Amino acid sequence: MSIIDAHTHPVMFKRGLTRPEVDRLVKHGRTLGVRWMVGLGDVLLYGRNFTAEQIVEVNDDSAKVQAMYPDYFRFFCFLNPRLGEKAVMGEVERCVDKYGFIGIKLEICNNARDACMKPVMEAARRWKLVVLQHSWSQTNIRQRSFHTDPADTATLARRHPDVPIIMAHLTGCGVRGVLEVKELDNVTVDTSGGLADEGLLEYAVEHLGANRIIHGSDLPGRSIGVSIQRVLGSRLSVSEKERILFSNAARLLNLG
Amino acid sequence: MLFDVNCYLGAWPFSLVPEMNAEQLARHLDRAGVDCAAVSPLGAVFQPEPMPANRALFAALRGKRRFIPLPVVNPALANWKEQLEECAAAPGVRAVRLYPNYHDYRLTRRTLLPFVDALEHHRLRLVITARIEDERHRYFALRIKGVPVADLTAFLKANPRTVPLVTGLSVTEAIQLASGTENFLADISYQENIELAAMLRGKLSSSRLMFGTLTPLVSAAAQSGKLCAPDFSAAERRRIASTNAVRFFSGPHADRR
């Protein structure tokens, strides 16, 4: 079964940029059946207050990895929405035109319900990009001023129903997160984040349908072997597993 | 062979996972390729005294050779000696488990010294639960943190001849603990990274690591994927998957220093 890993960080804190490191990662992914790896950038390199120059540096690093294996990696453009419309639009245009990036990645620079998200979503609309929003239940973490709860991702999706959104981290969002986005057809959920809670994937399929879930590992902090086995070892049907591991992401991200 | 050292029977009140009996647990582990498991009672986490849950565990596992009962003792209760004696007398018991954070005591308390002596007297091994749930995802009203590395360090230094298995440590915590003490083993139920082997190498030898799933709370199949991490040699995988666990649970104090 071919697999797409739709949530990876091949470069993390500047590790993973060298040719031998990239070779090793690709070899490992291919050994486990990963056909495409979707990279999201070195999104914690400078904390949560990235300058425009630092954003460019992260996206350029992503492009370097993509250039080494153009038939294996696709990257999302990492943004800091707080830098404003001009910076956001300029960086998206640069990353799409120069590197062919296929989506927008948002981490913890701000909460997804903040007003600064408007130009980000406009950029996604203009360049027909998918937006991947880091999302994690804030029930216990309590960082909601800058850290997005699944309820905030749902607010974002409700405001922009024409923009496809990936709510990252099924485990971090949990049962409540699944229910927050249940009625929002423009939201897909990726399977990454934390230990693979027993039964949560099946719960997500029951409430969202298998077509709205895509496989992601969140490597390097997590492992591809675990994320794949979470799907393959679930009680889902072969067809549902295949959609989660490959077809849904292939369709959403135009990956053949 | 895959040996799960961090497996449970019973219900967890904050989970949608249905409670399994021993037969259902066996089938569940079969699907994940897990051959045998040390099983503790989840009921002992929240009940005021662990023995009713332990007795239910002994009854459920009786005659099931793939399971090793791993009962729970609460050394903060006045009857800890009776708990320990009853557990030691139960068939198949090789070790007992502690839940310090759920049972509201610290590993630094003085009464643990006679408890450790009693373990030796009964020729039982010790398993310490650093955490069960990820603190980020736990039930909002259950504000229980993992056992501090400082407390584990103090316990290990105060009991240098005891080599407990500590379950639920993160990679960072395991490495931190290993930097100050050598007399512990760890499971990998909370340890995950695509570079796990490289991170641990030189800090925590594969001879001190064991496979654990946190079944039924976490997908056993997913946990088995950790052994696919690159850079683990075949010998390291074997040690983590089963060899170390078999040694730990087979003979009394085989690895005592």
Set of chain B residues whose Cβ sits within 8 Å of the Cβ of A25: 194
Label residue A20 exposed, middle or buried (CB < 10 Å: 0-12, 13-18, 19+).
Answer: exposed
**pLDDT value of position B228:** 84
| d(CA A217, nearest CA chain B) in Å | 10
* Number of structural domains in chain A: 1
Among A175, A226, A234, the residue with its CB nearest the CB of B192 is A226
pLDDT tens profile A24-53:
999 999 999 999 999 999 999 999 999 999
Give yes or no for a contact between B99 and B77, defined as CB atoms under 8 angstroms apart.
no
Query: Is residue B191 pLDDT above 90, yes or no?
Result: yes
Angle between helices B80-89 and B51-61 (to 10 degrees): 0
Which neighbouring-strand residues pair with A214?
A: A190
Per the rule left: phi > 0, alpha: psi between -120 and 50, beta: everything else, A141 is alpha
Query: Is residue B90 pLDDT above 60, yes or no?
Result: yes
Instruction: Walk me through the domains of chain B, giving residue ranges and CATH numbers.
Output: 3-250 (3.20.20.140)
pLDDT tens profile A9-26:
999 999 999 999 999 999
pLDDT (average), residues B219-236: 91
Give yes or no for a contact between A12 and A42, defined as CB atoms under 8 angstroms apart.
yes
A179 close to B (CB below 8 A) = no
Give yes or no for a contact between A194 and A169, defined as CB atoms under 8 angstroms apart.
yes
Query: Is residue B198 pLDDT above 90, yes or no?
Result: no
Q: Which CATH number is A22's domain given?
A: 3.20.20.140
Per cent of chain A over pLDDT 70 is 100
pLDDT tens profile B138-174:
888 888 999 999 999 999 999 999 999 999 999 999 9
φ, ψ for residue B171 (rounded to 5)? -60, -45
Amino acid residing at B84: L
Chain A residue closest to B227 (CA)?
A225
Average predicted confidence (pLDDT) for chain B:
94
Number of H helices, E strands in chain B: 11, 8
Among A140, A199, A223, the residue with its CB nearest the CB of B193 is A223
H or E element at residue A77: strand A73-78
pLDDT (average), residues A180-202: 97
Q: How far does chain A reach from its first CA to its final CA, in angstroms?
A: 14
What does the alpha-carbon distance between residue B173 and residue B181 come to, in Å, rounded to a whole number?
12
Amino acid residing at B247: R
Among A139, A197, A220, the residue with its CB nearest the CB of B195 is A220
Amino acid residing at B242: S
Per cent of chain A over pLDDT 90 is 99
Dihedral sign, CA of A171, B36, B33, A218? positive
Among A175, A222, A226, the residue with its CB nearest the CB of B16 is A175
What does the alpha-carbon distance between residue B6 and residue B252 come to, in Å, rounded to a whole number?
19
| d(CA B39, nearest CA chain A) in Å | 17
What does the alpha-carbon distance between residue B75 and residue B63 come to, in Å, rounded to a whole number?
28
Q: Which of B200, B168, B214 is nearest to B187 (CA)?
A: B168
DSSP string, A118-172: HHHHHHHHHHT-EEEE----HHHH--TTTS--HHHHHHHHHH-TTS-EEE--HHH
Dihedral sign, CA of B194, B198, B199, B200? positive
Task: Give Cβ neighbours of residue A85 (< 8 Å, ≥ 6 apart).
Answer: A118, A119, A122
| d(CA B225, nearest CA chain A) in Å | 4
Among B134, B138, B222, the residue with its CB nearest the CB of A229 is B222
pLDDT (average), residues A99-122: 98
Set of chain B residues whose Cβ sits within 8 Å of the Cβ of A199: 15-17
pLDDT (average), residues A221-227: 95
Per cent of chain B over pLDDT 90 is 86
pLDDT (average), residues A106-133: 98
Set of chain B residues whose Cβ sits within 8 Å of the Cβ of A227: 222, 225
Give yes or no for a contact between A28 and B230, defined as CB atoms under 8 angstroms apart.
yes
φ, ψ for residue B90 (rounded to 5)? -75, 145
Task: Give Cβ neighbours of residue B209 (< 8 Å, ≥ 6 apart).
Answer: B185, B186, B187, B188, B200, B239, B240, B244
Contact A139 B140 (CB under 8 A): yes
| d(CA B188, nearest CA chain A) in Å | 11
**pLDDT value of position B254:** 43
ipTM over 0.85: yes
| Interface contacts A/B by beta carbons within 8 Å | 110
**pLDDT value of position B137:** 87
pLDDT (average), residues B122-141: 94
Give yes or no for a contact between A181 and A152, defined as CB atoms under 8 angstroms apart.
no
Q: Parallel, antiparallel, or unpaired for β B36-41 and A130-133?
A: unpaired
Interface test with A, best of B31, B34, B133, B192 (most A CBs within 10 A): B192
**pLDDT value of position B251:** 62
A199 close to B (CB below 8 A) = yes
CB atoms within 10 A of CB B170: 17
Report chain B residues touching chain A, CB-CB < 8 A: 15-17, 31-32, 134-138, 140, 189-190, 192-196, 214-230
**pLDDT value of position B36:** 96
Query: Is residue B253 pLDDT above 50, yes or no?
Result: no
Set of chain B residues whose Cβ sits within 8 Å of the Cβ of A220: 193-195
**pLDDT value of position B252:** 52
What does the alpha-carbon distance between residue B186 and residue B205 come to, in Å, rounded to a whole number?
10
Among A140, A225, A226, the residue with its CB nearest the CB of B136 is A140
pLDDT tens profile A201-212:
999 999 999 999
Average predicted confidence (pLDDT) for chain A:
97
- The CA–CA distances, whole Å, from B106 to A73, B78, B185 equal 48, 16, 19
Set of chain B residues whose Cβ sits within 8 Å of the Cβ of A229: 219, 221-225, 228
- The tokens of A105 are what? 């990645």
Query: Is residue B257 pLDDT above 70, yes or no?
Result: no
Q: Which of A164, A98, A90 is nearest to A125 (CA)?
A: A164
pLDDT (average), residues B48-59: 98
Q: How confident is the model at residue A72 (pLDDT cuts 50, 70, 90)?
A: very high
pLDDT (average), residues A137-141: 95
What does the alpha-carbon distance between residue B199 and residue B32 come to, in Å, rounded to a whole number?
26
Query: Is residue B255 pLDDT above 80, yes or no?
Result: no
- The tokens of B185 are what? 């083993």
State which residues form the domain around A197.
3-253
pLDDT tens profile B24-37:
999 999 999 999 99
Chain B residue closest to A138 (CA)?
B136
**pLDDT value of position A173:** 97
H or E element at residue B37: strand B36-41
H or E element at residue A3: strand A3-8
Task: Give Cβ neighbours of residue B91 (< 8 Å, ≥ 6 apart).
Answer: B58, B62, B69
CA B98 to chain CA mean position, Å: 8
